[in-house]
């Protein structure tokens, strides 16, 4: 994948969920494009591995995105260490799945706090510190599930729909601070979060049958559009949701080709 070298030269970015998957890919690419990066996660070992790979211009800060004091400390660490905050990527997330008829309230709270409350806490503290510099951009990672429900995923899908609306509200309120806020809605991405689907050929085939691109994404394919939204190339993109799903969202109708026959035009 080609990188526009230097697109984030001199910029400071923070990434939550940086120890793994999509967050790690975003942190790596920001760093490769010149940014100083504060990576945060509860997975300290994963942060250490990332720190060894990136070297200078990277600072790890352990913290839980559902705890406001932790979030404030992460943001302060970026500003104190690197001298400001220009971009933030709110990526940390996860899911305790369960059918609505079985789901414990505690598991609902876990998932909604991790996916939605965390983004509220992050954007609040990020914008407070960015606002003093009068410029910045925030990218929140939601999900295709913001638009599409899934069995045993009510808490997750509801929280991700909330992230999309929270993004719009933040765009409305932060525009006067010079801060843009957008969301990325990934489809299926191969990460530790989705490992179990890739370890089960039948489950993977069921997913892929719905995805016109015929495959899942790699984390870098989510990082690239996330960086676009953060960059000056997207200077007039604000309050938007970018689906990055291999056309999965448009594939709701069954594949009727077996019933219709092949295309007749042969070039």
Q: How far is CA 20 from the centre of its chain?
A: 12
Q: Which of 17, 39, 153, 246 binds ligand NAD (CB under 6 A)?
A: 17
Which of 14, 65 has the CB closer to ligand NAD? 65
Q: How far is CA 154 from the centre of its chain?
A: 19
**Cα 136 from Cα 129, distance rounded (Å):** 10
- Name which of residues 93 to 112 contact ligand NAD (CB under 6 A): 93-94
Indicate whether 91 belongs to the interface with ligand NAD (CB under 6 A): yes
Indicate whether 37 belongs to the interface with ligand NAD (CB under 6 A): no
- Name which of residues 129 to 148 contact ligand NAD (CB under 6 A): 141, 143
Residues 176-215 vs ligand NAD: string with x where CB under 6 A?
A: ----------x-xx-xxxx---------------------
Indicate whether 49 belongs to the interface with ligand NAD (CB under 6 A): no
- 246: alpha, beta or left? (left if phi > 0; alpha if psi -120 to 50): left
Indicate whether 42 belongs to the interface with ligand NAD (CB under 6 A): yes
- Tell me which stretch binds ligand NAD (CB under 6 A): 40-48, 71-79, 174-182, 206-214: 40-48
Indicate whether 22 belongs to the interface with ligand NAD (CB under 6 A): yes
Check if 156 is active-site: yes
Which of 1, 263 has the CB closer to ligand NAD? 1
Q: Which helix (H) or strand (E) holds 259?
A: helix 257-260
Task: Give the side-chain half-sphere CA count within 13 A for 100.
Answer: 6
- Name all contacts of 149-156 with Cβ < 8 Å and 24+ positions apart: 151/99, 152/97, 152/98, 152/99, 153/95, 153/97, 154/100, 154/103, 155/95, 155/96, 155/98, 155/103, 155/107, 155/108, 155/111, 155/112, 156/95, 156/97, 156/111, 156/115
Give the footprint of ligand NAD on this chain (CB under 6 A).
Answer: 16-17, 19-23, 41-43, 46, 64-66, 91-94, 114, 141, 143, 186, 188-189, 191-194
Q: Which amino acids are annotated catalytic? A: 156
């Amino acid at each position: 994948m080609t990188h526009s070298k230097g697109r984030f030269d001199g910029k400071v970015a923070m990434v939550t969920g940086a120890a793994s998957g999509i967050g790690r890919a975003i942190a790596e690419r920001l760093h490769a494009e010149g940014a100083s990066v504060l990576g945060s996660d509860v997975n300290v070992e994963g942060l250490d591995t990332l720190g060894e790979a990136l070297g200078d211009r990277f600072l790890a800060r352990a913290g839980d995105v559902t705890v406001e004091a932790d979030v404030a400390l992460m943001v302060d660490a970026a500003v104190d260490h690197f001298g400001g905050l220009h971009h933030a990527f709110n990526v940390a997330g996860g899911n305790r799945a369960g059918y609505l008829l079985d789901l414990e309230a505690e598991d609902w709270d876990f998932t909604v706090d991790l996916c939605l409350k965390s983004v509220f806490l992050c954007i609040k503290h990020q914008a407070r510190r960015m606002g003093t510099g009068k410029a910045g951009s925030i990218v929140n990672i939601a999900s295709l599930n913001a638009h599409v429900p899934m069995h045993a995923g009510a808490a997750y899908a509801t929280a991700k729909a909330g992230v999309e609306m929270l993004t719009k509200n933040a765009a409305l309120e932060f525009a006067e601070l010079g801060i843009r806020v957008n969301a990325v809605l990934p489809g299926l991405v191969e990460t530790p979060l989705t490992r179990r689907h890739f370890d089960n050929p039948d489950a993977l085939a069921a997913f892929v049958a719905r995805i016109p691109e015929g495959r899942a994404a790699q984390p870098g394919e989510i990082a690239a559009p996330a960086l676009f939204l953060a960059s000056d190339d997207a200077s007039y993109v604000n309050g938007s949701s970018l689906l990055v799903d291999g056309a999965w969202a448009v594939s709701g109708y069954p594949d009727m080709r077996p019933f219709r026959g092949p295309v007749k035009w042969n070039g």
